[in-house]
Chains A and B, each alone.
Chain A
C-alpha cells in the first residue's frame, strides 16, 4: 500500500511537472501571442498568464496532448480577448516601415529575411480571427479541423477564412514584391 505523500512534497512534484511543461511549450505559447499581438512585452505577459491559468488547472488535464490542445485554445482566446479590450489600432501596411518586422531568433534565420519580415507585417494586418487561423495553420502546422476545434467553429468556415486570408496575403505580396516569390 502506497504511503500518502505530504502536501508540500506533492506541491513540489506538481511544480516539477509544471516546470517541464513550461519549458516544453513556452515557445509555442509565446510565439502565438507574439505573432498575434506584435508586441513582445504584451506577448510575454499574455503567455505568463496562460501558464498561470494552466498551473491552476493542471490537475484537470489528462494527457500531454490535452495540455497542448488546452494551451493553444486558451492562448487563442486570450489573444482575441486582449485585442478586444485593448483596442490595439490596426496598422495599415503602407504605414509600416520596412524595419518594423519582429526580430528573428538569433539561432534560426529565415531563408529570405526581407520576405519573412514583410509576411509577418502582412499577417498582422489581417482581421483577428483570420490572423489567428493563419498563425495556427502555418506556425503550429495544424489542419483546418484542428483549428476548428480550437476556435470552436466549423471546419468549413476555417477553410474559407484561410483561403481568403491566403489570397489577400498573396495579392499584397505580389503588389509589393513581385510575382517571383509567389510561384508555386
Chain B
C-alpha cells in the first residue's frame, strides 16, 4: 500500500455516530415491536379456515358463497348458450343438406327422363347425328 493510500485510509477512518444513536435505533425497534402486526389481506382470508365460525369471518364466508353461486349460475348459463348454438348450427346444416338433395334429385329426374326418351327411340336423327356445319352452341343448348 502506498503512502497516498495510507493517507486515504487515515482520512476515511470510521467515525462514531452522534451521541444516543444506538438508543434512538433501539427505541424505534421497540416501538415497531409493540405495534400490532398489520393483518394482510391474505392472512385475513386464510383465517376463515382457522376460525370458520368466528363472527368476523361471516362476511368472508358470504363472499365465498356468492362467488361460488355466481360461478355455478355462470357455468350453467354458458352451457345452455353453447348447446343452443350447436343446435342452431345443426339445424342450418340439415336445411342446407336437404336443399342440396332436392336439387340433386330434380337433376336426376331430368337425366332419367332424357335417358327414357332416348331409349324409346323418340329422339330424331338430327339430334343423334348432328350436322357438323350447324352451330355447336345451339346444339349444346338444345341437349341441355
Contacts and interface: CB of A to CB of B under 8 A. Distances in A.
Interface in A137-168: 138-139, 141, 166
A108 B21 contact: no
Contact of B24 (A34, A48, A108, A120): A48
A104 B25 CA distance: 23
B14 A31 contact: yes
A110 B15 CA distance: 12
Contact of A28 (B4, B9, B11, B14): B14
Given A34-B15, A55-B32, A105-B16, A110 B22 contact: no
Interface in A38-86: 40, 44, 47-48, 51-52, 55-56
B18 A18 contact: no
Contact of A170 (B4, B11, B17, B29): B4
B9 A173 contact: no
B37 to A, nearest CB: 11
A173 B4 CA distance: 10
Nearest to B25: A51
Interface of A: 11, 15, 18-19, 22-23, 26-28, 30-31, 34-35, 40, 44, 47-48, 51-52, 55-56, 102, 104-105, 107-108, 110-112, 115-117, 119-120, 123, 134-135, 138-139, 141, 166, 169-170, 173, 181-184
Contact of A184 (B3, B17, B22): B3
Interface in B1-53: 2-5, 7-18, 21-22, 24-26, 28-30, 32-33
Interface of B: 2-5, 7-18, 21-22, 24-26, 28-30, 32-33
B4 A182 contact: yes
Contacts of A134: 8, 12
21 contacts: A15-B29, A15-B30, A18-B26, A19-B26, A22-B22, A23-B22, A26-B16, A26-B22, A26-B25, A40-B18, A44-B17, A44-B21, A51-B29, A55-B32, A56-B32, A116-B7, A139-B9, A169-B4, A181-B3, A181-B4, A184-B2
Given A105-B16, A119-B7, A120-B12, A22 B30 contact: no
B33 to A, nearest CB: 6
Contacts of B30: 15
B25 A166 contact: no
